[in-house]
Structure 1
Amino acid sequence: MANTGAASQLYDTMDRHHTEVEPEQGPLRFLLAVLRPLGSLKWTIILFAVSLVLVMAGTLSQESLNMEQVKQRYFTSWIAKLYIDDFIPQVFYKHEPFYFWLPFPGGALVGTLLLVNLLAAKITRFHARARGGRLAAGLAALAIGFALMLAVIITGGSSEGVQGEPPMSYPTLWKWVCGGLAAAWVGLLAVGVTADSPRRRNWSIAGVVVMGALLIGMLTGYMTLSDPGLRILWQLLKGTGVAMIMMLGCHLIFDKQGGNVLLHFGVALLMVGQFAYGDRQVEQKLQLAEGDVSNTLINTGKLELAFIDNSNPAETKVVGIPGSRLRAAHEWDSVISDPAVPFDVKVPAFYINSKLVDPNDLPADKPNLATTGQGLELAVEEARMQGGATGGINVASAYVELLSKDSGESLGTYLVTQFVNDGQSLFVTPAPDEFESVTVGDTTYEMGLRFQRIVKPYWVKLLDVRRNDYAGDTKAQSFSSVIRLVDPRNDENRKERIWMNNPLRYRGETFYQADHVPVPGGKERTGLQVVQNSGWLIPYLACSITGVGMLFHFLGSLNRYTSRHDRETHPKLFFPVAMSVAVAFVTLIVSMKLIPWSAVAMAMNPDRAKTTRDLYRAGEIPVQFGGRLMPLDAYARLTLKTLSSKESVPLTEAGQEMINRYAMEEVSPSAMEKYRDPGMREKRLPALQWLMEVSADSDEIYDLPMIRIDAAEVLAEVGIERRRKSKLYSLSELMPASARVREMATKANEKDSAQLSFKERKIIELASRLHLYDVVSISMQMPTPRQIPDELLRQMFASELAGREITDEFRQLASFEDLRRRMELIAEIPSPGLIPQQGQAELPRPERERWLPLSNAYFESIKDRLRDPEAVDPTAGFMTMVKAYQDNDPLAFNQAIDQHDELIRPRMAEDETGWKLTLERWMEATWPSGTAMILYLIVLVLALAHLLSGVGALRASAWAMLIGILVVHTFAIVARIVITERPPVINLYSSAVFIGWAAVLYGVVIEYLGRRGIGNLLAAAAGSMTLMIALRGLSGDDTMPVLEAVLDTQFWLGTHVITVTLGYSATFASGLLGIIYLVQSWAGAEQQTRKEVYRMMYGVTCFGILFSFIGTVLGGLWADDSWGRFWGWDPKENGALLIVIWNALMLHARWDKMVGPRGFAMLAIGGNIVTAWSWFGTNQLGFGLHSYGFTSGTMMWLGLFVASQIALIVLGAVLPTSKPPQTEGPGWENKRI
């Protein structure tokens, strides 16, 4: 039993880095005495707690405030006004706002104190361990690293030419990257071969395998980086090189504490960089139509009352009064007098946001303030200020009274408003801005309220702007602008292309692609954001320095642990027979569930094609929808799930003929009872067969309950009295009220979303479901002309039919024209495309036309055959398949599948004919994630049984099963990567799958190290819960969608998103271990067992802060690369920051011994709340860049989860620890297993 605690000693070693320094005698003694309290970890923890409150308040207040106001209230102020109402957003609870506030430390004050605390702590707690030559070498390395760091920062912000490009070509840089990775692989191989420690050898071999696979992918071209990715990698490589040199110096001087010193230096650098540059950066906009030339940028952060003197044709003079002065003059009823301004100015009214009204409509108690100018024809009223939740813009207006500087006499009160003076920049209108003309002496000035203009020494001409949408969808895949930049002073004349995530850096300014707007006349307009930030490289350096410091710190601890661990002896802890049985069981389940046996049987016995429909192959037919190709079965599931919230519908009320087609036989009256009253197992119509019924336009489809209605108010509105348990209703039941529902939804959509009632939201939901069915049915059915009533014809063709009779020929022509318009419309809106257009196969992907819906393609084929009787109908195969389904003819059905494939295959491009569709069809049919979830639940039972019984074979079996399930889980993730051609996390669904995978991996490794069953419990619980969340709560939409233009970057998806998600997973894993610790303490576990779980918690938290910090900073770098701001205080960014702060608070509280094991466990459970908020809560706010995925169900489950975690924390604080039993017996606490 000498090695009882060996498995968790890894986490002990991580705790030994805060060495107190005794004050030396001499002049430094007084300084150290002053700095010691300033560097107290208690101050650190308090400041972290205050930061949590500030970040949360700043996040929630974005519902009603714009970003600049949020920053001024909370983040850049020294003393903040903490409004209690900010913590109760209207999206969570509708209420009347109240304005009670408390003084609170602001972001500027907290940041300054944290920096002082950090510096004081490092000065008093760390000291040089090196002497002589070692110390000199360390200081030299630090000096070199520091000099290189300054050089990187200065050159990045210089005003000479283009910055950010590597000094070599991108292909050369990629070769160097591959060479560096190959050298690292060789080094790992050498370590593995020469290592005398089995543990170190095993870890080296694992690293060799992983790095070798990565290297093979890079060398074969499957895993590569585009030029924009390599540009970012170059910046990170520069930072990593600086960090490695500084790490060498820190290690030479501080020895084991070197990593800790370096990581805190990186944090300090990031803080100083944001203080020095973060809020001083200037954001400007440049809006150009194709062919336009400009040298004037718009500073949207500053408003001004501009006086423009155009008297000299060669030069325009502009004098501006800042908007802040206008507002202050209005609030204080003062006069603005400035020598540069030709008038004195009073401001009777100033509105941050306003709306235009007719002067005649003004109330009697609020007369028109304008006495001259355009204010006599227009008037404004104050409007509710726009914030994050509304997504609108503020349009400022003011009434200004001009006074003569000589006599003080009033020259009139004018209305100045951005509606008129700044319409081009705000609303992208082609009409020129209009200004008031005012004259002083011989000079006439144009006066207007507008954003500040900044004149540059260079000119920009827009040569071309492009927006590429995904085929068959309105979602933009990319925006790009081609510009010519001419700088006469520096003799520059360069043509550059700018697109999302690929800015142009020129002379200290960075040009980012912001938006694209089509304008009347066929031209297109681009919006470029131009940011001046000379410290843009500081976050890159800080990320690299902190990451290297953390890695060396934690890897050093890991190395010391493994060295000590290998010196100890271990009893045999594996049970080969039990593990073999477990592996065999997993293999059996996987074989049963993950092999599509229907397809195998059809392939092995061709005669089955005569008697059985090959629905597996039918489901593999390609469909273009949502901007991508997907199997027909996937489209059917997605559509039916949107209509009914399920992937199948019950047949209990289906018609006789539909049931016959489902069963492929004539169902007898006695057998029909199994369908009508099935008992526990009701018969359900799968999505693919439902789509066949829709395509056939069978009579029974209209009587099949399939449209979900949850709200009783909506049922009453549509006149349905019978409420079904399934909450599904048929088209025939809804048809009488369909027009009224759509009309109500149209009116509701005109309202502000925040003002919608529950009933209105549900009416909109029902109308959208009815519209979806219309789109599907029109797209998938044979197009048929409608008979238009004569009354409607006379309205539609009044002039043509004036004084004429309506003939049958005219009715036919009108019906055909109506059909033509419907077919054009269905081809323009998002609808399922089944037929590739002719002549597209050789074109590059962005230039291809979308696939046509079946009905549209059939209509076009009719026109083609009228022109050429020999023309082939590309819809013949699918139409035959639908008819064969309706006729219950399996042979004709299966032959039609082959016919459809032969007709469309020649029209498809090479990249559309791969095996991705086959793989996705397999995933839809076999459900590997669901299989993994069920197996995790089985392992969870085994893990609990082991902990209660102490039977070692159960622990070994559970661990072996976890390895097998992890393989299945991994394969599911790899399959998604192959299908989407993206990294593993691209939306909330995939994040849940990946978080579960990472947590399982943590658990498997912990169990391998500790072998006490705790890792099994952690892995099984995390895997089953996260997959349940993914499959039950996040699979309502397409789980493998195409991405918005700003997300279309492999580099950031593969770095920022992955590391942040690993941070989520580690924090959740720590929280689960915290729950286990509390349960152990209540159950009377032995102290040594609880101590091991405590150390596991601590170790996982260390990895949590590593991944969370690096991922969060990488997210800031992504934002900088997309919009020019490293930190924008977006809710999702703030959520990630909360996780970093919470993990830091936990670790510092432990190091300062402010909390013991139980307190640390309670904090870890609190980390579950913080992570859940960052993961789901921020998406539910309705504002910010990540305001997607809102559902009331998500909010309910999030609230229940938070309540459960709070309950556990309260119980942890209240319930006492039970004493261990006096005698040993079965159970996790009393046996070494």
Structure 2
Amino acid sequence: MADALYCMPAGWNWHAYPLWHDSNPFSTSPNRMTKYERHTASRTVPILLISICAAYLLIPLKPSGTDSDFNINALAKVPVSYKGRVKPFDTVARNCLMVISGRQKLENQTLDLNAAHWLLDVLSRPTTAEEYEVFRIDHPDVLAIFGWQKTDKKHFSARSIREHGTELIRQAQLAGQIPSQKRSLFQRKVVELASHLTLYDALANYRSLHLIPPISPQHDWMDAATAANYTETSGQPLPGMRAWRKVLEAFNKQHADHFNQSVKNLADIYQENEPMATRQARHETLFNHYAPFAQCRVLYVFITILIFLSWIAFTQPLQAAAMSILLLTFLVHTGGIATRIYLSGRPPVTNLYSSAIFIGWGCILMCLVLEYLYRNGIPTLLAATSGFLTLLVAWALTGDGDTMAVLVAVLDTNFWLATHVVVIVLGYSATYLAGLIGLVFILRGVLTSSLSAGESKKMGQMLYGILCFALLFSFVGTVLGGIWADQSWGRFWGWDPKENGAVLIVLWNALVLHARWGGLVKQRGMAILAVFGNIVTSWSWKGTNMLGVGLHAYGFIESAIFWLAFFMASQLLIMAIGCLPLSCWRSFRVTTRSQTRQQANDGSPK
């Protein structure tokens, strides 16, 4: 089947074509379409596909309607303070529900509630909220605590959990006596469920949610208890507190008109007293609703499909459409990062979530440059693939809640976040992209007949250039990190696991380039070594956090250990495939047969 995709008989000989060659054998032949028809198709197909994608991106901007008489969307835009950051009510609801339930919406046979509606029920109708099945429990031993071993359900209500609360508390206390690094999976899941229940209770009792804005620039946001004490001691009623009380009372009694008017009054009070916080809260609510990175994930998959289809038919129109859609998606991706910078007031990379988004952005930017230089479709495929995979990783990292959380003191330095962190993450991007080019080189050579000598040289040039950038960014980023460490901790280098991982990336990129300069490897060897760079970078970026030691021991995720090991094993498998003898490479066999036949034809009598 692979030979059929890339070769066609032409007289006695067979001529191999690259996948993206203009003379693709599966493109519409001139006998079937006139020149005018081909010209029309080459213009119409890209315009049609781009229009569809543009419409897909614009539709979410339409204000969402509601089947309810309650204007909960207006309340979702009201700013509140939670865990040290002022954010809209919508963000608090989404993050808390994501932590507790692993989702941002309640949907089942009887319910269809957004996160803001759920949190409003928790605050104003606790009896009703207790019945919502929001707590995710999937470990069999934890389910056994409640006698639910045989159930197929994954989500349970707070009321049903409280019925067996004594045993849960006992197990959580026992697990709490064991250091976190030595706990079993069951003990970690018990502690996690107990913490989720504590989070839920803190919301329901108004302990963690600061609803009342500061009365002056010298004061902080206040929770309900603090606001009540202030009113009692000062004798001055707080307008925000009265407005919130009316909103919650109206929703508790299910009086829609009263609720909507109370929400309007509340929004007016915040607009008057906290105009900047109100404006940012509106923008963040729109950002949450639009979910730009989720939109980009879908379009990156669509671009990948277009590139594959272009290797079968309509080569130029589909590749032109793919490139245009990639530029459009890249703008949305960039806009998402810029919006996060505006909302958080920080540089683009502040945690693992934002680093995943920025790594993908850096890969796509470099791929756009490569596509401009080589114009062969491969960089477009690499851009779409890297964009989708990194945004998928970012989505998996949202389970911890707020992705724009307040930074710890040592990280609360915009200058170093904008220099060391950004540069080192660009080094990650370049190293990952080099590994992805190497992976495509190997699979293309082994599985297809399209990797001719000319295409091998082009991909080698692409790989070499990206490796040079990877070495530059990773080296400069590591040096800047040492300077930051010297200012923060009084030493340039401390052999911290994260520091060791950073220098490993520098050394590995230098090793690959020196092997190339020394003639030890050519295109194939460089591609195999570049694939191993994916393992080195993954360990430095995420693996060091799994050790639980050092100054960079943050962002531990249980499932990350398995997926990290799986990814490393897959890269080792690709390297093993790349080390197969050239006789096992389809491209090499086709090239050899072509050369043999050419020599035979040259030697045949005329």
Category of TM-score, reference length = shorter chain: 0.7 to 0.9
Distance in 2 between residues matched to 1:1214 and 1:1058, nearest whole Å: 38
Q: Which amino acid aligns with 1:833?
A: H
State which of 583, 588, 595 in structure 1 corresponds to 2:55.
588
Report the secondary structure of 1:1214's partner residue. Answer: coil
Specify the alignment match of 1:723 in structure 2: 151
Specify the alignment match of 2:185 in structure 1: 758
Distance in 2 between residues matched to 1:871 and 1:1041, nearest whole Å: 31
Whether the aligned pair in 1 keeps the contact of 2:227 and 2:238 (CA below 8 Å) is no
Distance in 2 between residues matched to 1:1098 and 1:1072, nearest whole Å: 13
CA separation of 1:688 and 1:1184: change in aligned 2, threshold 3 A: same
Whether the aligned pair in 2 keeps the contact of 1:928 and 1:968 (CA below 8 Å) is yes
CA separation of 1:651 and 1:883: change in aligned 2, threshold 3 A: farther
Specify the alignment match of 1:214 in structure 2: none
Q: As a proportion of its length, which structure holds more helix?
A: 2
Whether the aligned pair in 2 keeps the contact of 1:1057 and 1:1111 (CA below 8 Å) is yes
Specify the alignment match of 2:168 in structure 1: 741
Deviations for 1:605-645, whole angstroms, at most 9, x for unmatched residues? xxx9xx74333321111110121101101001111111111
Report the secondary structure of 1:1209's partner residue. Answer: helix
Report the secondary structure of 2:240's partner residue. Answer: coil
Specify the alignment match of 1:640 in structure 2: 97
State which of 912, 915, 922 in structure 1 corresponds to 2:286.
922
* TM-score, L = length of structure 2: 0.85
Deviations for 1:542-572, whole angstroms, at most 9, x for unmatched residues? xxxxxxxxxxxxxxxxxxxxxxxxxxxxxx9
CA separation of 1:925 and 1:855: change in aligned 2, threshold 3 A: farther
Distance in 2 between residues matched to 1:694 and 1:703, nearest whole Å: 10
Whether the aligned pair in 1 keeps the contact of 2:80 and 2:213 (CA below 8 Å) is no
CA separation of 1:1103 and 1:871: change in aligned 2, threshold 3 A: closer
Correspondence 1:852 to 2:222: yes
Q: Which amino acid aligns with 1:1206?
A: L
Shift of 1:858: 4.8
Consecutive unaligned residues in structure 2, runs of 5 or more = 1-16, 19-38, 595-606
Specify the alignment match of 1:1150 in structure 2: 516
Specify the alignment match of 1:1072 in structure 2: 436
Shift of 1:883: 3.7
Specify the alignment match of 1:1161 in structure 2: 527
Shift of 1:721: 4.2
- Residue pairs, 1:620-635, within 5 angstroms: 620-635=77-92
Report the count of equivalent residues.
550
CA separation of 1:957 and 1:906: change in aligned 2, threshold 3 A: closer
Deviations for 1:15-59, whole angstroms, at most 9, x for unmatched residues? xxxxxxxxxxxxxxxxxxxxxxxxxxxxxxxxxxxxxxxxxxxxx
- Residue pairs, 1:700-711, within 5 angstroms: 700-711=128-139
Correspondence 1:957 to 2:321: yes
Consecutive unaligned residues in structure 1, runs of 5 or more = 6-571, 603-607, 653-674, 676-682, 780-825, 1224-1233
Specify the alignment match of 2:4 in structure 1: none
Distance in 2 between residues matched to 1:933 and 1:898, nearest whole Å: 36
Deviations for 1:998-1053, whole angstroms, at most 9, x for unmatched residues? 11111111111111101110110011111111013345321111111111111111
Report the secondary structure of 1:978's partner residue. Answer: helix
CA separation of 1:948 and 1:1201: change in aligned 2, threshold 3 A: farther
- Residue pairs, 1:357-372, within 5 angstroms: none
Shift of 1:1186: 1.1
Report the secondary structure of 1:1040's partner residue. Answer: coil
Report the secondary structure of 1:919's partner residue. Answer: helix
Q: Which amino acid aligns with 1:760?
A: Q
Q: Which amino acid aligns with 1:734?
A: I
Distance in 2 between residues matched to 1:622 and 1:1112, nearest whole Å: 39
Distance in 1 between residues matched to 2:150 and 2:113, nearest whole Å: 22
Correspondence 1:1025 to 2:389: yes
Distance in 2 between residues matched to 1:1047 and 1:1018, nearest whole Å: 32
Specify the alignment match of 1:1114 in structure 2: 480
Correspondence 1:966 to 2:393: no
Q: Which amino acid aligns with 1:641?
A: M
Larger radius of gyration: 1
Q: Which amino acid aligns with 2:210?
A: G
CA separation of 1:1003 and 1:755: change in aligned 2, threshold 3 A: closer
Shift of 1:902: 3.4
Shift of 1:925: 0.8
Specify the alignment match of 2:538 in structure 1: 1172
Shift of 1:905: 4.7
Whether the aligned pair in 2 keeps the contact of 1:858 and 1:873 (CA below 8 Å) is no
State which of 502, 507, 513 in structure 2 corresponds to 1:1141.
507
Q: Which amino acid aligns with 2:102?
A: S
- Residue pairs, 1:829-868, within 5 angstroms: 831-838=208-215, 840-841=216-217, 843=218, 848-849=219-220, 851-854=221-224, 856-858=226-228, 861=231, 863=232
Specify the alignment match of 1:350 in structure 2: none
Q: As a proportion of its length, which structure holds more strand?
A: 1
Specify the alignment match of 1:1217 in structure 2: 585
Whether the aligned pair in 1 keeps the contact of 2:99 and 2:399 (CA below 8 Å) is no
CA separation of 1:904 and 1:1033: change in aligned 2, threshold 3 A: closer
State which of 979, 984, 988 in structure 1 corresponds to 2:352.
988
Shift of 1:1201: 0.7
Shift of 1:875: 2.5
Distance in 2 between residues matched to 1:989 and 1:969, nearest whole Å: 14
Q: Which amino acid aligns with 2:50?
A: V
Shift of 1:896: 1.5
Distance in 2 between residues matched to 1:855 and 1:1056, nearest whole Å: 42
Distance in 1 between residues matched to 2:71 and 2:352, nearest whole Å: 34
Specify the alignment match of 2:72 in structure 1: 615
Whether the aligned pair in 1 keeps the contact of 2:78 and 2:270 (CA below 8 Å) is no
Give me the CA root mean square deviation. 2.5
Specify the alignment match of 2:449 in structure 1: 1084
Deviations for 1:869-898, whole angstroms, at most 9, x for unmatched residues? x84553332233334434544433322212
Specify the alignment match of 2:113 in structure 1: 685
Report the secondary structure of 2:210's partner residue. Answer: coil
Q: Which amino acid aligns with 2:277?
A: E
State which of 296, 300, 303 in structure 2 corresponds to 1:932.
296
Correspondence 1:896 to 2:262: yes
State which of 55, 63, 66 in structure 2 corresponds to 1:597.
63
Distance in 2 between residues matched to 1:697 and 1:1008, nearest whole Å: 58
Distance in 1 between residues matched to 2:312 and 2:502, nearest whole Å: 37
Q: Which amino acid aligns with 2:515?
A: A
Deviations for 1:655-704, whole angstroms, at most 9, x for unmatched residues? xxxxxxxxxxxxxxxxxxxx3xxxxxxx5422111111111234332222
Correspondence 1:1046 to 2:474: no
Whether the aligned pair in 2 keeps the contact of 1:778 and 1:855 (CA below 8 Å) is no
- Residue pairs, 1:288-687, within 5 angstroms: 577-593=44-60, 595-598=61-64, 612-652=69-109, 675=110, 684-687=112-115
Distance in 1 between residues matched to 2:253 and 2:287, nearest whole Å: 30
Whether the aligned pair in 2 keeps the contact of 1:1059 and 1:1111 (CA below 8 Å) is yes
Report the secondary structure of 2:113's partner residue. Answer: strand
Q: Which amino acid aligns with 1:761?
A: R
Distance in 1 between residues matched to 2:124 and 2:138, nearest whole Å: 29
Distance in 2 between residues matched to 1:1071 and 1:1189, nearest whole Å: 24
Whether the aligned pair in 1 keeps the contact of 2:126 and 2:204 (CA below 8 Å) is no
CA separation of 1:614 and 1:1008: change in aligned 2, threshold 3 A: farther
Distance in 2 between residues matched to 1:1175 and 1:1119, nearest whole Å: 18
Q: Which amino acid aligns with 1:834?
A: L
Shift of 1:581: 3.4
Report the secondary structure of 1:874's partner residue. Answer: helix
What percentage of residue pairs aligned between the two structures are identical?
Answer: 36
Deviations for 1:162-217, whole angstroms, at most 9, x for unmatched residues? xxxxxxxxxxxxxxxxxxxxxxxxxxxxxxxxxxxxxxxxxxxxxxxxxxxxxxxx
Whether the aligned pair in 2 keeps the contact of 1:596 and 1:925 (CA below 8 Å) is no
Report the secondary structure of 2:163's partner residue. Answer: helix
Shift of 1:917: 1.6
* TM-score, L = length of structure 1: 0.43
Whether the aligned pair in 2 keeps the contact of 1:720 and 1:733 (CA below 8 Å) is no
Q: Which amino acid aligns with 1:632?
A: F
Distance in 2 between residues matched to 1:951 and 1:777, nearest whole Å: 58
Distance in 1 between residues matched to 2:512 and 2:491, nearest whole Å: 29
- Greater relative contact order: 1 or 2 (C-alpha under 8 angstroms, separation 6 or more)? 2
